[in-house]
Amino acid sequence: MEVSKIHLRRVRDGTLVAADLFDDIADEHLAMWERSWLPAMRVALADFRRRHVPRDRWPQDLHWNWREKAVSARGLLGQQGFAIVCEERLQGMMQLNLTKTSRLPQQRGKEIAYIEFLAAAPWNRAELIREREFAGVGKILMRVAVEVSVAQEFKGRIGLHSLPQADAFYEKCGMTSLGADPRYEGRLTYFEMTAAQAVHFCTV
């Protein structure tokens, strides 16, 4: 497992804080998820219930079990996980699949880095907390996916299926929507980023 140095921007004062990017989701990261993310999500869920927030506004990844996802991916061809740790807390995770190919007409059949799952810690999400701790965790992980794509000679091409609440985020990242995927459970919207879009995304 390799560790790279990155920086996260603290929302409170705008300062950049040093963080570690791990190219694996290790047991220590899953333990952090269980100790901190799960309780925070339960608190948020209790608050939603208390305030009678409609269920369609609840976080759609509440049911994600990162231990199951990470452990099941270990040892599989083309699977790679990432975790961000800052100030001894887990700030975000992502699981990549490097065995899929593009569906866009202009690059159909070419390899992509497919994002299976991506999430920021509860305290970094505006829909769960009034003032986030760190901003941009999701975009940082997206850039990591692009960098992996480049390293694999996929030229920055990436793809993913988006939960409905995240559609606007991926549109703002400049990805191309191919619409609802009838082959995917829940008919989630499928997005791809071309090589040119990846260059623009990483330079803005």
Q: Is the pTM higher than 0.75?
A: yes
Question: What percentage of the chain has pLDDT greater than the value 70?
Answer: 100
State the pLDDT at residue 172: 94
Whether pLDDT at 39 is above 90: yes
**How far apart (Å, rounded) are the C-alpha atoms in residues 152 and 14?**
34
- What value does the mean pLDDT take over residues 31-56? 92
- pLDDT-derived band at 96 (thresholds 50, 70, 90) equals very high
State the pLDDT at residue 184: 80
118, 141 contact by CB (below 8 A): yes
Could you tell me the two tokens for 147?
């960098």
State the pLDDT at residue 111: 97
